[in-house]
Structure 1
Amino acid sequence: MSVMESSVQAAKPDYSVYRRVIGDLLSGNEQLPSLPIITFEIRKAMEQSNLSMVELSKLLTRDPALSAVLLKYASSPLIGSQNPPQTLLDVIRLLGMNQVERITMVHSIKSLFSMHSAKHKRLFLEAWRRLALKASLSTYIAKHLKQVVPDHVLMAALMSEVGTLAVLSAFKKSDETPDIPTYIALCREYAKSLGVITLKKWQVDEQYLKVVQEVGKWQGESPGPINLSDIINLGLYHALKLTHTKTDLPPLKDITAYQKLDEPHNKIIAGGLDVVMTNIQEIRVVAKSLF
C-alpha cells in the first residue's frame, strides 16, 4: 500500500462515526427536516370542502418559488395544453386542486434538503434521481391497472423515500459526508426508522406510514386485492432492475405484488411487466419532470 493510499484510508471516517451521526438524528440531538409552513397551510386549506380555486391561488402566491414550479410544470409538454397557463388560477383550472397539492409536496420535499458540499450534492441528486424514477414507474403502473388512485401512488412513492433523504440530511459537514456505498448501507439500516419519524412529524396520513414500513418487502403477508404498498413495490422492483442497483432481485413472478395481478396486466417481457418495459421512454419523461 502506498503512502497516499494509507493517508486516504486513514482520513476516511470509520462506519461507526456515520452511525453516531445518524444516532444523533434519531435521538433528537440533531433536528429532522421540517416541511415549510406554507405547505402545512396549503394542506390544511385543501381539507376544506368549500375551498375555492381563487382562495387557493392567493395562498400559492405567497411562495414565489412554488408558483414558478407550478407554472413551469403546467406549461410543460407533459401536460400538453394548447394554451399554456399565464396565472396560478389558470394552473389550478388546468391541473385540478389534487394535482396542485401533489406538486406542492414534491417541491417541498425536494427543497428541504439543502446541499452542503459538492459531495453532498452528488449524493442528493443521485438519491432524487432514483426517487423520481421509482415514483414515475409506480404512478404509470397505477394508471394502467386503474385500481389505486395515481395521485396517491405518486405521493406515497415520494413519502417512502423521505427516510433516505433524512439520512443524507444528517451529514452537514463535508468531512462527514459518506461515499455512495456507505450511504446505501446507512439507508438500509436507518431509512425506514427515520422515514417513519419524519412523516409522523409532518402529520401525514397513516397510509403513507404503512407504505414506508412495507416498501421493499417482496413477500408480503396481506391477502386481497392489490393495494398502495403493492404498487410502490412494483415500482421499486422495476426501478432497481432498470438501474441495475440491485443484482439479486427475485424473479418478478415470485413477489406478492405481482401475484395479485390479473391477465392481461401480469404479462412479463424481459423480466419486467410488459406495460413498463414497452413504455420505458414515456416513463422516463415523467421522471425527468419530477427532477
Structure 2
Amino acid sequence: MSTQNALLTILVEKINNDTLVLPTLPAIALKVRKAADDPDINLHAMGDVIGQDPSLTARMIKIANSAYMGRTVKVNSINQAVTRIGLRQIKNIATALAMEQLFVSKNEVVGQYMKQEWTNTVNVVANSMAALQMYVARTKKRDLSLDTITLAALVHNIGVLPILTEAERHEEVFANPTFLDVAIEKLSGRIGGSIMREWGFGNDFVNVAENWRDLGFIPDNLSYIDFVRIGAALSGKMDNQKDAVFNLAVQRGAIENVSDLTSDEFKDMRDAAKQIFA
C-alpha cells in the first residue's frame, strides 16, 4: 500500500473511530466566548478579559477603527473598542481574530502548508464579507450579520488542520501536494463538522464547515453558506464549480448580477475586510 493510501486509510479509520485529534480553540477565544455567554457581563468586564491578551487587544482596537465598523473617530483603548463593537458582536469577532493561532506548526514543511491555508482562508473571508455587505446594502435586510460571516468563513475549511497534523508523521506525503488536496477534499468537510460540534458552535457553523463544497446542500433560506461559497469561488477554491456557485447565488438572491462581484464597490469592501487580518 502506498504511503498516500495508507494515510488516507488511517484518517478514515480515526474519523470512524472518533480518535482523530481535533484542534482546540485558542485559550483567549474560550475565555471571551465564556464571558460573552454570561448574562451579567458588562462592557468594562469584557474589556478586562480581552486585555489579558496584548495581541488580541491590539487587533480589537484595530478592527474598531477599521472600515468594518464604518466609523471615523479613532478609539485608543480596549474598553473604547469593546464599547464600539458591542457585546453581541464581540464573541464572534474575538474568536475570529484568535483563529490565526491555530494555523501554525513547529514542522517547517507543515508550517508552510498552514501558512498558505491561512492566506487562502483570509481571502475567502474578505470576499465573503464583501458579498454579504453588498447584499445588505442592496436589500436592507440584516438577518445575517457581518461578525458571523467573518467567523463562518474563517472556519469553513477548519477540517484541513487535523489532516495536516496527521500527515506530519509522513513527511514524504508533502512531496505530493495532489494527494493532500484529494485527502482534504474528501475528508475535511466531515472533520470540520466534527470540530464545530466539539467546539459547541451552532448549526450555521456546522453546515458551513461540513457542506460548503457540496452544492447539493441548499438550506431553505439564504444562509451564511451561500456567502462562504461565493467567497471560496472568488478565491479560486471552487474552480470546477465556479459558474454553478454564481448561478446559485443569483437564483437565491445573494447577488443580483455576477458583475457586481467585480465592481469597484465590491473590491473596496473586500480590501477593507482583508486589512482586518493584515
Give TM-score scaled by structure 2 length.
0.82
Deviations 1:19-41 (A, max 9, x none): 25534653455521111344223
Q: For the structure 1 residues 253 and 95, does the alpha-carbon distance in structure 2 shift closer, same or farther, using more than 3 Å as the test?
A: closer
Matched, 1:163 2:152: no
Within 2, Cα distance between the matches of 1:80 and 1:250?
31
After the TM superposition, which residues 208-227 of structure 1 pair with which residues of structure 2 at under 5 Å, given as runs? Answer: 208-223=205-220, 225-227=221-223
State which of 25, 31, 45 in structure 1 corresponds to 2:35. Answer: 45
Give TM-score scaled by structure 1 length.
0.78
Matched, 1:18 2:15: no
* 1:156, distance to aligned residue in structure 2 (A): 1.4
SS of residue in 2 equivalent to 1:217: coil
Aligned AA for 1:284? Answer: D
Q: What residue number does 2:273 align with? A: 286
Within 2, Cα distance between the matches of 1:254 and 1:93?
37
Within 1, Cα distance between the matches of 2:75 and 2:218?
46
Within 1, Cα distance between the matches of 2:246 and 2:275?
30
Matched length: 268
* 1:96, distance to aligned residue in structure 2 (A): 2.4
Q: What residue number does 1:4 align with? A: none
Question: Over aligned residues, Cα RMSD in angstroms?
Answer: 2.9
Q: What residue number does 1:154 align with? A: 150
Q: For the structure 1 residues 122 and 93, does the alpha-carbon distance in structure 2 shift closer, same or farther, using more than 3 Å as the test?
A: same
Q: What residue number does 1:104 align with? A: 94
Q: Does the aligned pair in 2 maintain the 1:226–1:260 contact within 8 Å?
A: yes
Q: For the structure 1 residues 288 and 176, does the alpha-carbon distance in structure 2 shift closer, same or farther, using more than 3 Å as the test?
A: farther
Q: For the structure 1 residues 221 and 286, does the alpha-carbon distance in structure 2 shift closer, same or farther, using more than 3 Å as the test?
A: closer
The ranges of structure 1 where at least 4 consecutive aligned residues each deviate by more than 6 angstroms after the TM superposition are none
* 1:169, distance to aligned residue in structure 2 (A): 2.9
* 1:15, distance to aligned residue in structure 2 (A): 0.8
* Structure 2: stretches of 5+ with no match in the other structure: none
State which of 43, 46, 63 in structure 2 corresponds to 1:56. Answer: 46
* 1:281, distance to aligned residue in structure 2 (A): 5.0
State which of 160, 163, 187 in structure 2 corresponds to 1:190. Answer: 187
Q: Does the aligned pair in 1 maintain the 2:246–2:258 contact within 8 Å?
A: no
* Structure 1: stretches of 5+ with no match in the other structure: 1-12
Deviations 1:237-281 (A, max 9, x none): 2222xxxx554335258743321128xx42233xxxx14444325
Matched, 1:207 2:204: yes
Identity of aligned residues (%): 15
Q: For the structure 1 residues 82 and 156, does the alpha-carbon distance in structure 2 shift closer, same or farther, using more than 3 Å as the test?
A: closer
* 1:75, distance to aligned residue in structure 2 (A): 4.8
Q: For the structure 1 residues 221 and 208, does the alpha-carbon distance in structure 2 shift closer, same or farther, using more than 3 Å as the test?
A: closer
